[in-house]
Chain A
């Protein structure tokens, strides 16, 4: 904590040279992650699409570049992480976490980091990067079960973090949380939980322009982690308004 440093550090950060030293905007991004607690543990859902971003001159516009991106990974024995935002930053976070878990294992003391510990570590990393004006451009969901205790938390690029029975990143906060607030309850079975998540993901698919119809569901219980094979949701587009869109306005499209 050296206040004497921070004034000159600010000077260095302002100016186009210094901009090459820190993240200014995201480049390849994934969209919402949604997570819920259920009877036996935690369920996470995320789609597999990554977009190349539109920025200042808009060189890519918004291109769906990658369609097989795993945005959920297991962390140690007791946790899973789901990420939205800049994928390269997520990959760096995974390197940090791999090192964290490695050092934890090297103690060889019978203890292992649970989801609370991993979430706390991530929160500190995200906050400190934000304080150095070089954020990891992600919103993360961290869930897990240890010794029967379920944990579900989230942290974003500015370090804001909290835990709850259901969490979501990005658009998920606007579209999925209201559904979850209405329909989530303790003791959801696995099937009920998946149905609920699919309902959330379907709304996101209809209304989030950066969502794609290829998703995975990740489950973590005391026994361990399972990440499903990718699959797609059934959608319905047969609304009358879409059938003959130019009726009454011949010549338009």
Chain B
């Protein structure tokens, strides 16, 4: 099982992060397993849940993206990938992929976007999201720091955070350092992917190994 992932959308960037611990029951299987996959130029998915299902889902989406590229001669946009992920998950509605996903990236206007999913494909575009065992610890903290305007307000206000890229990265590091303290399944190492107009960047941070 893979355990915690987070994504935060900014005005012109997106931060996607997940820890690298893989565990089963009370055992740690490996301290260095990546749960994040770059599906397209501007789409990155992080998934927690049952590892074998997560990997199968990643492969299905990667294959479908390859076919899309052959047919359309372009990369899939993040909103398009979001819909594809939803459909792929619902396709197995009666024998689900036990995977809890966040999809992050840049939309067609270059703005950061985050989509959050349940195991059977229900999804929503949000400004930030956390999934997995650490999500219960992280989400309230992100709510406090990144409080989104209510979706009921008119005119509609952006959910993306006004924070700068480095501030968002620091926030993510804080989230995981805190989640690691109290969630036994989160720890070892944090992998952070930052997606912006100039491309994609990877960063790592050590976490507690206990």
Seen from chain A, the residues whose Cβ lies within 8 Å of a Cβ on chain B are: 1, 3, 6-7, 10, 123, 127, 130-131, 158-164, 173-174, 177
Residues of chain B within 8 A of A174, CB atoms compared: 27
The CA-CA distance from A131 to B53 in the complex, in Å, is 10
Question: B108 at interface (Cβ–Cβ under 8 A)?
Answer: no
Q: What is the count of residue pairs linking A and B with beta-carbon distances less than 8 angstroms? A: 41
- Would you mind naming 19 contact pairs between A and B with Cβ atoms under 8 Å apart? A3-B91, A3-B92, A3-B93, A3-B94, A6-B95, A127-B52, A159-B52, A159-B55, A160-B24, A161-B52, A162-B22, A162-B29, A162-B33, A163-B30, A164-B30, A164-B32, A173-B27, A174-B27, A177-B28
Contact at B29–A173, with CB atoms within 8 Å? yes
Smallest Cβ-Cβ distance to A155: which chain B residue: B52
Q: Are A1 and B91 in contact (CB under 8 A)?
A: yes
The CB with the most chain A CB atoms within 10 A, among B28, B33, B52, B92, is that of B52
A160–B51 CB distance below 8 A:
yes
By beta carbon, the residue of chain A nearest B209 is A181
Kindly identify which residue among B24, B27, B55, B94 contacts A161, using a CB–CB cutoff of 8 Å. B55
Interface status of B56 (Cβ within 8 A of chain A): yes
Interface centre among B24, B27, B50, B55, by most chain A C-beta atoms within 10 angstroms, is B55
Give the residues from 3 to 52 in chain B that come closer than 8 angstroms, CB to CB, to chain A: 22, 24, 27-30, 32-33, 50-52
CA distance A246 to B22 in the complex (A): 46
Across the interface, which residues of B come within 8 angstroms of A127, CB to CB?
52, 56
- The interface size of chain B toward A, counting residues with CB under 8 Å, comes to 18
Instruction: Determine the distance from Cα of A130 to Cα of B22 in the docked complex, in whole angstroms.
Output: 20
Residues on B with beta carbons closer than 8 Å to the beta carbon of A1:
91
Q: How far in angstroms is the closest Cβ of chain A from B58?
A: 12
Q: How far is the CB of A88 from chain B (nearest CB, A)?
A: 23
How close is A128's CB to chain B, nearest CB, in angstroms?
9
Q: Mark B88-109, 1 if CB is under 8 A from A, else 0.
A: 0001111100000000000000
Q: A161 to B59, alpha carbons, bound, how many Å?
A: 14
B191 to chain A, nearest CB (A): 15
A residues less than 8 Å from B29 (CB atoms)? 160, 162, 173
List chain B residues, Cβ under 8 A from A3. 91-95
Complex: A158 Cα to B98 Cα, angstroms: 13
Which B residues are CB-close (under 8 A) to A158? 52
Distance to closest chain A CB from B126 (angstroms): 28
With A and B bound together, what is the CA distance between A113 and B22 in angstroms? Answer: 27
Residues of B within 8 A of A159 (CB): 52, 55-56
Kindly list 9 other residue pairs between chains A and B, CB separation below 8 angstroms, not including A160-B51, A164-B32: A6-B95, A7-B94, A127-B56, A130-B52, A158-B52, A159-B55, A161-B55, A162-B22, A177-B27
Q: Is the CB–CB distance between B91 and A161 below 8 Å?
A: no
* CB pair B52 A162 closer than 8 Å: no
A174 to B28, CA, bound (A): 9
Q: Quick one: closest A residue to B51, CB to CB?
A: A160
Q: Which residues of B contact A177 (CB under 8 A)?
A: 27-28
Residues of chain A within 8 A (CB-CB) of B52 are: 123, 127, 130, 158-161
A158 to B51, CA, bound (A): 10
Residues in A with CB closer than 8 Å to B50 are 160
Contacts of B95 in A (CB 8 A): 3, 6, 10, 131
Closest-by-CB residue of B relative to A126 is B52
B47 CB → nearest A CB, Å: 14
Minimum C-beta distance from B210 to chain A (A): 12
Whole-angstrom CA separation of A50 from B22 in the bound complex:
29
Output the least CB separation between B26 and chain A (Å): 9
Evaluate whether A6 and B94 lie within 8 angstroms (CB atoms) in the complex, with A127-B56, A159-B52, A160-B52 already known.
yes
Closest-by-CB residue of B relative to A158 is: B52
* Shortest Cβ-Cβ A-B pairs, 3 listed: A159-B52, A164-B30, A162-B30
CA gap between A87 and B89 in the complex, in Å: 35
